[in-house]
Amino acid sequence: MSVLVIAEHDGKQLKPGTTNTVTAAAKIGGDITILVAGHQCADAAQAAAKVTGVRKVLLADAPHYAGAGAENITALVLTIAGQYTHILAPATGFGKNFMPRIAASLDVQQVSDISAVVSDDTFVRPIYAGNAMATVQSSDRIKVVTVRATGFDDAGAGGSAPVENLAAGPDTGLAKFNGQELSKSDRPELTAARIIVSGGRGMGSGENFKLLEALADKLGAAVGASRAAVDSGFVPNDYQVGQTGKIVAPELYIAVGISGAIQHLAGMKDSKVIIAINKDPEAPIFAVADYWLVEDLFKAVPELTQALA
Amino acid sequence: MKVLVTVKRVIDPYVKVRVKSDGSGVETANVKMAMNPFCEIAVEQAVRMKEAGVVTEIVVVSIGVQQCQETLRTAMAMGADRGILVETAAEVQPLAVAKLVKAIIDKEQPKLVIMGKQAIDDDSNQAGQMVSALLGWPQAAFTSAITVSGDTADVTREIDGGMEKLTITLPAVVTTDLRLNEPRYVTLPNIMKAKKKPLEVLKPEALGVDVAPRLKILKVEEPPKRSAGVKVADVQELVAKLKNEARVI
Ligand SMILES: Cc1cc2nc3c(=O)[nH]c(=O)nc-3n(C[C@H](O)[C@H](O)[C@H](O)COP(=O)(O)OP(=O)(O)OC[C@H]3O[C@@H](n4cnc5c(N)ncnc54)[C@H](O)[C@@H]3O)c2cc1C
Ligand SMILES: Nc1ncnc2c1ncn2[C@@H]1O[C@H](COP(=O)(O)O)[C@@H](O)[C@H]1O
């Protein structure tokens, strides 16, 4: 078996989900190759070479991979797909965008968002917002799989694989990349954070998120949100945790003013320890919380921040 | 320009899903069904573009059991012009959905295809990207804004760190994210009007597509349950538990 893992990176470093995807690849077995495609991303290829268990790194560096457009990434992967039994990528906004395009081009039914590997053709994946777990077996010649990072450990950095250049594929010219607007923050990324403080509609305003930021700063935590908080314009969309936002599983998740709709739970219920602060004693979030406090958040959050001083 | 929109019939997002005790799937008998929320957003987008004079005709397509006709009628009550049902009682996985949708696109020749980013039952997040792959068209997945001008569309996509902007040439496939728009409620007069709109029913074989599943579902189980938590009286007790019991801070 030979597994191709498509790396998510920022040109310099690998993004969190990539090393977890390598662990999923190792569970499948066989040789692992990482593909780093991008523009000016040699440093990311060097980082990929250090991931434990990787046999080889392929570097495809060309201007038309800036932004990792689905059409061009697919065209590139198709030039080498025949050499692999499995093609994996993290089930993040990055992987979800182009993996189905690769799969359909190969006439393969992709397996999305796996949380466990049973064997080289059988995987477990959550369906219905994580309310059910399906074990599925693929009959396709090449398995195209996206990997839920929270289901697998970080592979670690103990390797020294060779980096080979891979000739760029065609520029399909189908889409023009006009840039990204990334939210800037000094806090850890949601999907990599050890602690997350998340706010919901109960926060009342974007201004009030400062209370959570103060708490997050004390804990070295990332700040997340429910969809209601995002839709109300309190915080940017990339804060959203849930079925259709980010899937997280930190050591500690603190849910503040969040009711606990199934779509929100879908994104955080695998966290190790969950705390909920809500003034409603009936809030469904309490059903998944390890510790819950029925109190007004405007009283409880500053007190908690204070207590951690 | 003509727009094609796909709509999937799914278990209502606010219904508590129950896994069948024989592990064959989830309980769907006597369960409230609804249009997949992302497909509602797709229909709304097409209707707004028609209201703005950019779109001339909206064709909605659904694949599934006979009752999907209700979903198509809802889309027509929102403002779609006609519906096509590819009727089958079999489980149709995203690759087969994409092939069926492609076959209809080959006949209908729309300039823009709008699909939901994900079906909230299988949570696959595949079919839209697959349709554009099969056609060799550009794609814009997870869009939160679309402006069409002539033969191109400017789109804003939601990505993990924020937003991304693309210009794609038409024809193209876009898939909707939650913040693209807020779908309208259907009104009684529009429901009545929708009953008279044309609805064609086809079989997958008529489109020459093999819908046999490639993924075999071996079993469906309940997710692991979290053990019951404890209520704490105040912040002091909470901090003590975190430090001494959970040891996470
Ligand atoms: C297709 C689909 C996808 C979705 N995807 C997601 C997703 O990915 N993520 C997500 O989060 N949601 C998602 N949702 C939305 C979800 O169904 C809920 O609407 C949303 O999670 C509710 O957010 P909330 O808990 O912040 O708001 P609410 O449900 O309004 O809850 C607010 C809570 O704050 C509490 N509160 C208010 N004031 C205070 C106070 N002063 N002190 C303490 N507590 C207070 C209230 O008691 C209440 O429990 C999705 C929905 C659909 C249909
Ligand atoms: N059976 C179906 N009928 C109509 N549209 C579908 C069907 N299955 C999937 N789709 C469309 O494809 C999108 C993505 O679905 P999925 O890849 O299953 O998550 C959905 O939001 C729908 O717009």
Quick one: DSSP state of residue A241? B
CA of A202 to the centre of ligand 1 (A): 8
| Contact criterion met (CB below 8 Å) for B139 and A73 | no
| DSSP letters spanning B181-201 | --PPPPPHHHHHHHHTS-EEE
Mean pLDDT of A3-18: 96
A143 touches chain B (CB under 8 A): no
What pLDDT score does B159 carry? 93
User: Residue A121: phi, psi to the nearest 5?
Assistant: -125, 5
Quick one: DSSP state of residue A240? B
- Which of B104, B64, B105 lies closest to B206 in space, CA to CA? B104
Contact A294 B231 (CB under 8 A): yes
| Contact criterion met (CB below 8 Å) for A257 and A294 | no
Please give the model's pTM, rounded to 2 decimal places.
0.96
Which residues in chain B show pLDDT less than 70? none
% residues pLDDT > 90 (chain A): 95
| Contact criterion met (CB below 8 Å) for B61 and B7 | yes
Per-chain mean pLDDT for chain A = 96
Task: State the number of CA atoms in the 13 A half-sphere of B130 facing the CB.
Answer: 27
User: Residue A62: phi, psi to the nearest 5?
Assistant: -155, 150
Q: Is residue A309 predicted with pLDDT exceeding 80?
A: no
pLDDT confidence bin for A16, thresholds 50/70/90: confident
pLDDT confidence bin for A79, thresholds 50/70/90: very high
Mean pLDDT of A249-273: 97
Radius of gyration of chain B (CA): 21
What pLDDT score does B15 carry? 93
User: ipTM for the complex?
Assistant: 0.96
CA of A266 to the centre of ligand 1 (A): 12
Q: Are strands B9-11 and B2-6 parallel, antiparallel or unpaired?
A: unpaired
What pLDDT score does A185 carry? 84
Cβ partners under 8 Å of residue B106, min gap 6: none
Smallest Cβ–Cβ distance between B178 and the set A69, A227, A294 belongs to: A227
Radius of gyration of chain A (CA): 20
Q: Are strands B162-169 and B152-159 parallel, antiparallel or unpaired?
A: antiparallel
| Contact criterion met (CB below 8 Å) for A228 and A254 | no
Contact A176 B166 (CB under 8 A): yes
* Least Cα separation, residue A47 to chain B (angstroms): 21
Substitution target from B17, B28, B99, B238 for chain A, most A beta carbons within 10 A:
B238
What pLDDT score does B173 carry? 98
Cβ partners under 8 Å of residue A280, min gap 6: A259, A294
Residues A192-233 have pLDDT tens digits of: 999 999 999 999 999 999 999 999 999 999 999 999 999 999
